[in-house]
Amino acid sequence: MRLQLSVQYGVARAGLPAESALRRWAHAALTGLRRRRVTLGLRIVGMAESASLNSRFRRRRHPTNVLSFPFEAPPGTRSDLLGDLVICAPVVRREARTQRKTTDAHWAHMVIHGILHLRGYDHRKRQDALVMERMEIRLLKELGYANPYIQ
């Protein structure tokens, strides 16, 4: 599969994962998707932008780790665009520290988690959450990271 990944930075790049790492994690999350090409947008933001988007689209007045915006092509058209992710760098750093994970492991988890949402997975119901978590655990293990749900 050919991946076109567009990364935008709303914060300074220092301390953020390299685009090659983001691409590797995205490829892992797309495993099994039957498409020849996929286009994804990824924006890395700070607290204010994350809080604003979370408030506008989820009615929650705080920043969050990752937001997923799936794209649906209009009826009768085709598009390679899967959607966009917005990841809040300060939240990811804080969560990694709090959960005693490496920042790379947590970034990988957030990219995979967000892309699984773009693919239609969710965790609103317990059974759906278990399916999504199992996929995350398997994909992260294949990338060399520990189970993110064990602290």
Q: Residue 61 and residue 54: Cα distance in Å, rounded?
A: 7
Side-chain half-sphere exposure of 38, counting CA atoms within 13 A: 25
Question: What is the pTM for the complete model shown?
Answer: 0.95
**Interval 91-144: pLDDT, tens:** 999 999 999 999 999 999 999 999 999 999 998 888 888 999 999 999 999 999
For the chain, first and last CA: distance in Å?
Answer: 34
- pLDDT at 150 (0 to 100): 87
Q: What is the mean pLDDT of the chain?
A: 95
Side-chain half-sphere exposure of 145, counting CA atoms within 13 A: 24
- pLDDT at 129 (0 to 100): 87
**Interval 27-82: pLDDT, tens:** 999 999 999 999 999 999 999 999 999 999 999 999 999 999 999 999 999 999 99
Percent of the chain clearing pLDDT 90 (strictly above): 91
- pLDDT at 22 (0 to 100): 98
- pLDDT at 91 (0 to 100): 98
pLDDT at 151 over 80: no
- pLDDT at 67 (0 to 100): 98
Q: Residue 97 and residue 82: Cα distance in Å, rounded?
A: 31
- What domains lie within the chain, and their CATH numbers? 2-142 (3.40.390.30)
